[in-house]
Amino acid sequence: MSNSSSYTFQAEVRQLLDIVINALYSDREIFIRELISNASDALEKLRLLQLKNQTVYQADKPLEISISTDEDNHTITIADTGIGMTRDELVENLGTIAHSGTKKLLESLEQADNKSDLIGQFGVGFYSSFMVADRVEVYTHSWDESGESLLWTSDGRESYTIDTVDTLDRGTRIVIHLKKEYEDFAKEYRVRSILVKYSNFVGFPLNFKGDRINTVEAIWLRPKSEVKPEEYDEFYQFIAHTEQKPLTLMHFNADAPIVLNALLFVPDENPEKFGFGRVDHNVALYCHRVLIDAKPEGLLPDWLRFLHGVVDSEDLPLNISREMLQDSSLIRKINDILTNRFLKHLDKLAKDQPETYADFYSRFSRYLKEGIVTSWQHKDPIAKLLRFESTMTDPGKLTSFDSYVSRMKENQKEIYVLTGESREMLENSPYLESFKANGYEVAFFTDHGDQFVLDAINKFGEAEIKSIDRADVTIPETPDTEGESLTADQTKSLQDWLINMYGKKFSKITFGNRLVSGAAVALHGADDMSSEIREYMKAMGQDIPEAHPEIELNPKNELVRKLADLKAEDPELARIVADQITNTALLRAGMLENPADIAKSSQELLEKLLLKK
């Protein structure tokens, strides 16, 4: 009575299967972990349906997983009494890949050494069975009474078939026909040891040849003091589909304002570094041990999307829909509590385990910075977590705003910062001279986008954060340096002469103490945008308003002093020298719009000097 239909795998699945089948793995056993994880997911979904009073096919069937092996026929079978699949669901779930970054995933998978870790993390775990199988059979009956009894079969190459079969019980039974070289997986001792390893945290009974393998417990509901470190590690490995240990974890139980038990893990690697693009958080939401949603939107802010874990709240209504969940005020409250607690955890980690925090920071600082720009209400505690180099740190050593503030000079009210590509570049910045000479610390920020982050922070405690390349920053106090200077009259007349010559080109021309030895420095006018923001707008194809930098001249600089006399003696040469001084200042500040300007003034200067002699 079989009614057979043949289907071709989606191209991406064929490509994935090709990688899975042909690659060399040392740990093929993970296919068992992946199939158990799917069985457990299917059971969680069924339990939730029942709690919502849905009518379910074979409602009395207990929720469990059974595993068996057949040494003679070289098979291993994994069966569950979960939600099962309809024909459409078989096609959708076992014939296509839903992951949005599939192309990238496949590229990275081809190159990655830790393929088996990636397979589970990116939601293609089922296909790992083809690492060991030359044929896989999936017998399934959906929870829906009207569903058919179906058999999905494939050799994992081009296509699969779906047949209707004699009546099946609810759930899914997967029979793996092992390749000759992997017949080991049909041996009882081998499978038993693997099951012990992977089934500890499965939330349903798991039976093997009549023996119950696991004890079902919700580790997150146990008091912290009673959970062993290796239990945390194993639980993390189970939910994150990985063999790695977490970098750090936070476990907390609270009774007020809402009953909340949470266990959050930071992975050992930045999941976005492989180039998959954005990942989704992997923190599941439970209500008293019942899984409500494996990846609820809105449970955590976007910038915490690297977290894995479990959140359990008794205060959640069980029969809440996904949509209702998303904009429920309870979820917002949980989000806020989790974020605050996690930020506190990081702060404590930085104090108690600075090395672990440094590892965390090197991998996840980008997310913190994203948090500052996008999570207004959390920006202050996140700012405390930032680390950076400064004029007072050795290269490669990092400091924090708190430490910076503790080193501030008595009369210092502001935090001085400078953004740019690298410390090396910033060390040569024309703005740094007098701050350094007068013992004021300047913090270096060298990540792309740092200017936005600093603008968003704005203030750390009482201290305003000021970029020292801006005209509205003044050094609080500078002891008079030695050396001759222009008189007030000379200064005034040189200033008038320059303003008259340059007109609107500069918003201001001043004389000041910002420089110790150089002739002039260009500053962003108070109303101008920073170079970084201009660059950004340029890249976005937006029109950028004309900038009007300020020029500050150093009245003690010899060139500037000579210029004061030269403007009367040889106005033409004085003009060229002034051009050269201002162009150089613009160039050093990265504000020279047209590089040809400086070539022109240099050329003129050379000609003038050569022709004179």
Is there binding between residue 38 and Mg ion (CB under 5 A)? yes
Chain residues that interact with ligand ADP, rule: CB under 6 A = 34, 38-39, 41-42, 80, 82-85, 93-94, 123-126, 172
Query: Rounded to the nearest whole angstrom, what is the least distance from the CB of residue 140 to ligand ADP in the complex?
Result: 7
Is there binding between residue 282 and Mg ion (CB under 5 A)? no
Residue nearest to Mg ion (CB): 125
* Cβ-contact 337, 315 below 8 angstroms: no
Partner in contact with 486, chosen from ligand ADP, Mg ion, none, beta carbon below 5 to 8 Å by kind: none
Query: Rounded to the nearest whole angstrom, what is the least distance from the CB of residue 24 to Mg ion in the complex?
Result: 23
Which residues ranging from 107 to 146 are in contact with Mg ion (CB under 5 A)? 125
Partner in contact with 39, chosen from ligand ADP, Mg ion, none, beta carbon below 5 to 8 Å by kind: ligand ADP
Q: Give the distance from CA 154 to its chain's centroid.
A: 38
Q: 3-class SS at 189?
A: helix
Give the residue with the Cβ less far from ligand ADP, 46 or 498.
Answer: 46
Sheet holding 389-390, edge to edge: 389-390, 442-445, 414-419, 463-467, 459-460
**Which amino acid, residue 60?**
D
Which of 201, 247, 241 shows the shortest CA–CA distance to 221?
A: 201
Tell me how far apart the terminal alpha carbons of the chain are, to the nearest angstrom: 108
Give the residue with the Cβ less far from ligand ADP, 34 or 414.
Answer: 34
What are 245's two structure tokens?
């240990």
Partner in contact with 93, chosen from Mg ion, ligand ADP, none, beta carbon below 5 to 8 Å by kind: ligand ADP
Give the residue with the Cβ less far from Mg ion, 38 or 434.
Answer: 38
Query: Rounded to the nearest whole angstrom, what is the least distance from the CB of residue 239 to ligand ADP in the complex?
Result: 12
Partner in contact with 203, chosen from Mg ion, ligand ADP, none, beta carbon below 5 to 8 Å by kind: none
CA torsion, points 449, 450, 452, 454, in degrees to nearest 10?
170
Partner in contact with 80, chosen from ligand ADP, Mg ion, none, beta carbon below 5 to 8 Å by kind: ligand ADP
Query: Rounded to the nearest whole angstrom, what is the least distance from the CB of residue 308 to Mg ion in the complex?
Result: 15
Gap between the Cα atoms of 611 and 613, Å rounded:
6
Which of 129, 144, 23, 149 shows the shortest CA–CA distance to 83?
A: 144
Partner in contact with 172, chosen from ligand ADP, Mg ion, none, beta carbon below 5 to 8 Å by kind: ligand ADP
Give the residue with the Cβ less far from ligand ADP, 91 or 227.
Answer: 91
What are 400's two structure tokens?
């924090």
Give the residue with the Cβ less far from ligand ADP, 93 or 602.
Answer: 93
Give the residue with the Cβ less far from ligand ADP, 167 or 411.
Answer: 167
Query: Rounded to the nearest whole angstrom, what is the least distance from the CB of residue 37 to Mg ion in the complex?
Result: 5
Query: Rounded to the nearest whole angstrom, what is the least distance from the CB of residue 134 to ligand ADP in the complex?
Result: 19
Partner in contact with 235, chosen from ligand ADP, Mg ion, none, beta carbon below 5 to 8 Å by kind: none
CA torsion, points 180, 182, 185, 188, in degrees to nearest 10?
60
Which of 37, 306, 340 shows the shortest CA–CA distance to 198?
A: 37
Query: Rounded to the nearest whole angstrom, what is the least distance from the CB of residue 261 to Mg ion in the complex?
Result: 25
Partner in contact with 83, chosen from Mg ion, ligand ADP, none, beta carbon below 5 to 8 Å by kind: ligand ADP
Partner in contact with 515, chosen from Mg ion, ligand ADP, none, beta carbon below 5 to 8 Å by kind: none
Give the residue with the Cβ less far from ligand ADP, 208 or 460.
Answer: 208
Give the residue with the Cβ less far from Mg ion, 101 or 512.
Answer: 101
Give the residue with the Cβ less far from Mg ion, 194 or 418.
Answer: 194
Is there binding between residue 199 and Mg ion (CB under 5 A)? no
Gap between the Cα atoms of 66 and 204, Å rounded:
10
* Cβ-contact 465, 534 below 8 angstroms: no
CA torsion, points 573, 577, 579, 584, in degrees to nearest 10?
160
Give the residue with the Cβ less far from ligand ADP, 38 or 214.
Answer: 38
Query: Rounded to the nearest whole angstrom, what is the least distance from the CB of residue 35 to Mg ion in the complex?
Result: 8
Which of 404, 396, 395, 471 shows the shortest CA–CA distance to 443?
A: 404
- CB 533: neighbour CB atoms within 10 A? 15
Cis peptide leading into residue 555 (ω within 30°): no
Give the residue with the Cβ less far from ligand ADP, 91 or 259.
Answer: 91
Query: How far is the CA of 405 from the CAs of 192, 411, 459, 500, 536, in angstroms?
Result: 58, 12, 12, 43, 30
Gap between the Cα atoms of 214 and 196, Å rounded:
7
Partner in contact with 85, chosen from Mg ion, ligand ADP, none, beta carbon below 5 to 8 Å by kind: ligand ADP
Query: Rounded to the nearest whole angstrom, what is the least distance from the CB of residue 299 to ligand ADP in the complex?
Result: 18
**Which amino acid, residue 510?**
T
Partner in contact with 420, chosen from ligand ADP, Mg ion, none, beta carbon below 5 to 8 Å by kind: none
Q: Which positions lie near Mg ion, rule CB under 5 A? A: 38, 125
